[in-house]
Amino acid sequence: MIEREIKARVADPAAVAGRLGTAGARLEFRGLMSDRLLDSDGILTAKGEVLRLRRYQGEGGASRTVVGWKGPVGVERGTKFRQEIEVEAVGDVEG
C-alpha cells in the first residue's frame, strides 16, 4: 500500500467531521495508541525506513497490536508518500 500524508489546519473540526460522515466516512478506532520503534544501530533510520509496533488500546478495553514497516519518504506535488506494509500481530508481543 502507498501511504499519502496531507496535513491541514482546520478551523471547525466538527464541521469537517460532519462532512466526512456525510461522505460515508466512519470512525474506525477510539482510544489510545502507543508506538515502539525498532531499529538496530540506526540501520533503518539511515535508509529512511521505519519498523514499528503499534498497540491500539480501545476505550472498551480491547487491544490489538500491528507490526508496520514504512519505506523512505518521497514528495509528489507537495504531498508526502511512502510504501507501507502492516500486519496484525498474533500472540503476546509485549512479553
| Residues 47, 66: Cα–Cα separation, whole Å | 22
Note the pLDDT of residue 61. 87
| Residues 26, 30: Cα–Cα separation, whole Å | 11
pTM of the model: 0.75
Note the pLDDT of residue 42. 95
Give the residue ranges of the chain where pLDDT is below 50: none
Note the pLDDT of residue 6. 84
Note the pLDDT of residue 95. 52
| Residues 48, 35: Cα–Cα separation, whole Å | 17
CA distances from 3 to 28, 85, 90 (A): 17, 9, 24
